[in-house]
């Protein structure tokens, strides 16, 4: 399977077999521009170079996908893709059937296939990246909602009085406190010279009190969001994925504390909250799985 992780910063392409082995892998900067031609050229180039027994391609995109029309309808970090007939164009260029999926949904599927949610069929994944995304799987199948936007946990309100405005238009969204972007912002608000979430994490690991308080705050809001999620969905497992999950050892205890305090106790005691086991590859593997097993989508 030709699986693609089309991110706002990096474009990753992999050849994945039906056991989830990554046979080939390529990573480059995502070509930006007014049109998606650069992206199409890069994918077609990789497909030609690997020239092997590919049966289909599966592309995960950082935005909302209209599953019926097979177009990207929202992609804040890749605006050239919006309303572009990506599926049709790629099918023509590559000569294979193409599957399009939102990145958070693909990550949930990847973790269910080979990661922390193996063997489960009621799964929620929460991706802590530039923003906060969510993917919901119910009875082994992606739960999209009636209008395709189920699982938007990043835009659930966790602090309406914070005064912080989110790009979605709401105030006090979870992603304003639990994304990599939020970690950097909160560190700067506390006077740290923070350039990345990774640097804040390193400072926290070496005992910096300010950095530690940033991660505690992140864990607090994440825990509030997860408690709401548990009360609403009662999944078998919630898998936390994305780059900022690297801060797990600094935010997890506060996250668990909030869940224990706020979610319905009997349920919360049974819902497992786990750290991603697929790491960076959750989405790529999920994309491949969705092409191997279309029934999941
Ligand atoms: Zn929002």
- From ligand 1's centre to the CA of 173, what distance in Å? 5
- From ligand 1's centre to the CA of 225, what distance in Å? 13
- From ligand 1's centre to the CA of 216, what distance in Å? 21
- From ligand 1's centre to the CA of 164, what distance in Å? 10
pLDDT tens-digit series, residues 106-125: 999 999 999 999 999 999 99
- From ligand 1's centre to the CA of 131, what distance in Å? 9
pLDDT tens-digit series, residues 224-261: 999 999 999 999 999 999 999 999 999 999 999 999 99
pLDDT tens-digit series, residues 56-72: 889 988 888 887 778 88
Q: What is the reported pLDDT for 73? A: 85
Measured CA to CA, the distance from residue 221 to residue 227 in angstroms comes to: 10
- From ligand 1's centre to the CA of 181, what distance in Å? 13
Q: Is the pLDDT of residue 296 over 90?
A: yes
- From ligand 1's centre to the CA of 59, what distance in Å? 25
- From ligand 1's centre to the CA of 106, what distance in Å? 21
Measured CA to CA, the distance from residue 297 to residue 284 in angstroms comes to: 15
Of the chain, the percentage scoring pLDDT greater than 90 comes to 77
Q: Is the pLDDT of residue 51 over 80?
A: no
- From ligand 1's centre to the CA of 150, what distance in Å? 14
- From ligand 1's centre to the CA of 135, what distance in Å? 16
Give the burial class of 68: count Cβ atoms within 10 A of its Cβ; 0-12 exposed, 13-18 middle, 19 or more buried: exposed
- From ligand 1's centre to the CA of 167, what distance in Å? 6
Q: What is the reported pLDDT for 50? A: 84
- Provide the whole-model pTM: 0.93
- From ligand 1's centre to the CA of 290, what distance in Å? 28
Q: What is the reported pLDDT for 149? A: 84
Give the burial class of 43: count Cβ atoms within 10 A of its Cβ; 0-12 exposed, 13-18 middle, 19 or more buried: buried
Q: Are 4 and 12 in contact (CB under 8 A)?
A: yes
Mean pLDDT of the chain: 93
pLDDT tens-digit series, residues 7-30: 888 899 999 999 999 999 999 999
Q: What is the reported pLDDT for 52? A: 67
- Give mean pLDDT, residues 30-50: 89
Measured CA to CA, the distance from residue 111 to residue 14 in angstroms comes to: 17
Q: What is the reported pLDDT for 62? A: 84
Tokens matching residue 13: 């392409």
Q: Name the pairing type of β-strands 272-275 and 237-241.
A: parallel
pLDDT category at 194 given cuts 50, 70, 90 is confident
Q: What is the reported pLDDT for 47? A: 86
Q: Is the pLDDT of residue 211 over 90?
A: yes
- From ligand 1's centre to the CA of 41, what distance in Å? 33
Q: Are 286 and 105 in contact (CB under 8 A)?
A: yes
Tokens matching residue 261: 């305090």
- From ligand 1's centre to the CA of 255, what distance in Å? 20
Q: What is the DSSP secondary structure assignment for residue 128, as one 8-state letter? A: E
Q: What is the reported pLDDT for 148? A: 82
Question: Largest Cα–Cα distance in the chain?
Answer: 55
Helix, strand, coil share (%) of the chain residues, nearest 5: 45, 20, 35
CA 84 centroid distance within chain: 22
**Which residues, by Cβ under 5 Å, contact ligand 1, an ion?**
155, 166, 168, 170, 173
- From ligand 1's centre to the CA of 113, what distance in Å? 29
CA-to-CA separations, 255 to 124, 174, 252, 273, 274, in angstroms, rounded: 16, 13, 5, 10, 12
- From ligand 1's centre to the CA of 207, what distance in Å? 31
Of the chain, the percentage scoring pLDDT greater than 70 comes to 99
- Give mean pLDDT, residues 277-294: 94
pLDDT category at 181 given cuts 50, 70, 90 is very high
């Amino acid at each position: 399977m030709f699986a693609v992780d089309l991110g706002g910063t990096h474009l990753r392409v992999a050849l994945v077999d039906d056991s989830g082995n990554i046979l080939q892998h390529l990573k480059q900067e995502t070509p930006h521009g007014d049109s998606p031609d650069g992206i199409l050229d890069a994918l077609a180039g990789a497909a030609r170079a690997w020239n092997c027994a590919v049966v289909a391609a599966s592309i995960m995109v950082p935005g909302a996908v209209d599953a019926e029309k097979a177009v990207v309808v929202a992609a804040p970090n890749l605006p050239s893709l919006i309303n572009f007939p990506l599926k049709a164009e790629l099918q023509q260029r590559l000569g294979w059937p193409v599957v399009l999926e939102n990145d958070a949904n693909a990550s949930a599927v990847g973790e269910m296939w080979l990661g922390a949610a193996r063997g489960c069929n009621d799964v929620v994944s929460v991706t802590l990246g530039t923003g906060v995304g969510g993917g919901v799987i119910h009875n082994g199948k992606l739960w999209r909602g009636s209008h395709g936007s189920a699982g938007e946990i990043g835009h659930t309100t966790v602090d309406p009085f914070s005064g912080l405005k989110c790009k979605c238009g709401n105030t006090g969204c979870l992603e304003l406190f639990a994304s990599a972007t939020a970690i950097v912002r909160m560190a700067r608000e506390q006077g740290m010279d923070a350039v990345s979430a990774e640097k804040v994490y390193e400072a926290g690991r070496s005992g910096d009190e300010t950095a530690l308080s940033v991660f505690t705050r992140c864990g607090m809001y994440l825990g509030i969001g997860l408690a709401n999620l548990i009360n609403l969905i009662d999944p078998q497992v919630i898998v936390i994925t994305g780059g900022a999950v690297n801060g797990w050892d600094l935010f997890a205890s506060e996250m668990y504390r909030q869940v224990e305090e706020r979610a319905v106790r009997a349920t919360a005691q049974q819902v497992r909250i786990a750290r991603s086991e697929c790491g960076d590859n959750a989405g790529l593997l999920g994309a491949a799985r969705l092409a191997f097993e279309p029934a999941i989508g």
